[in-house]
Amino acid sequence: MTAPATSGLSSKTNKAFLSVLDGQQLKTPPIWLMRQAGRYLPEYRELRATAKNFLDFCYSPALAAEATLQPIRRFGFDAAILFSDILVIPDALGQTVTFEAGEGPRLNPLTSVEDIERLPELSLGRLSAVFETIDRVKPRLAPQTAFIGFCGAPWTVASYMIAGRGTPDQAPARLFAYRNPAAFQLLIDKLVDASIAYLSEQIRTGVEAVQIFDSWAGILPPSEFQRWSLAPIARIISGVRTSHPAARIIAFPRGATTHLPNFIRQTGAQAIGLDTAVDPNWAVNAIPEQVVVQGHLDPLALLAGGRAQTEAVDALLTAYRGRRHIFNLGHGILPETPIDHVAALVDQVRSFEG
């Protein structure tokens, strides 16, 4: 089924990234990198210094659009990803969100059932700046460059909302879910509904694919993974496709290795983002051929550069020869990564003919 013209989607494209998602196998995989707009770029650091804090930066369409476009100008990636943050959703739900320099995000933690019950419905108006950023970026992309939107998965976003900050093992959210499963389910339900509305509006505004980031999926035991990661993401995908039937959706359940086959079957995502720990030889056999594999170079190999980088890139390209593959990292690019390493990566991927 072809999506409406207003959805930002098309069944025919000259964009390699979208062609792979739409079912075409290419000899040379398209490439983009998670966190490709960020602190490893000197032009980004200069731009970031013009905003008083990170959330203001995300909510400034001019700045966010420029950050989105910077890595495309420098490296010519096959896709731009909207510059924003997964925590704009809690902010739009009325939770106080700030970013402390050198310490990461801070939220007023949700500590009770009443805190969760008081959360209002998502205010898309609060996110109007994000949609304006999409409006600004879309006409400035080259015809061959795709545009990706995104959101955080409910489990990962909820973990920040409960703890009020990032934690190494997500224990506050996990403990809250064990002690108050009904209340935690209510929070997940609110985030599912908010994510459906947010991604649907991104698509309507002009992004051509979306990615759902579940950065902390792998920390959950099997039954909790099914309940708090897999099932909510499946509901988001179904909900987005209710209004945008042809929506191209990538799911990235980081750390979910042994759960991936079941995750793929139940969610219906066109593509699955793989993290650094996934063995590509296992993935070739475990992941159905109709599902696009995205990833999954170790960001530390990219940081190291040289022979280590070249061999790691070649191993991935060779492993997925004959498969629909989008080249990416297994997690976000590290801030200290040298620019020439990224340029060498792009050159190596672009010279590959599978």
Q: Indicate if 39 belongs to the active site.
A: yes
Q: Indicate if 48 belongs to the active site.
A: yes
Of the listed 22, 40, 78, 85, which one is catalytic?
A: 85
Q: Indicate if 85 belongs to the active site.
A: yes
Handedness of CA 158, 68, 204, 264 (dihedral sign): negative
Residue 307: enclosing H or E segment and its boundaries?
A: helix 306-319
Q: How far apart are CA 133 and CA 136, in angstroms?
A: 5
Q: How far apart are CA 309 and CA 192, in angstroms?
A: 38
The tokens describing 264, both together, are 């793929």
Neighbours of 175 (CB within 10 A): 12
Of the listed 40, 59, 160, 198, which one is catalytic?
A: 160
Residue with tokens 């795709």: 146
Q: Indicate if 35 belongs to the active site.
A: yes
Which residues partner with 147 through β-bridges? 80
146 φ, ψ (degrees, to nearest 5): -80, 170
Neighbours of 262 (CB within 10 A): 14
Q: How far apart are CA 265 and CA 260, in angstroms?
A: 9
Neighbours of 56 (CB within 10 A): 13
Of the listed 39, 106, 126, 136, which one is catalytic?
A: 39
Of the listed 35, 174, 235, 248, which one is catalytic?
A: 35
Short-list 252, 257, 308, 253, CA closest to 278: 257
Calculate the dihedral angle through the C-alpha atoms of 180, 100, 49, 330, rounding to the nearest 10 degrees. Answer: -50
Instruction: Provide the annotated active-site residues.
Output: 35, 39, 48, 85, 160
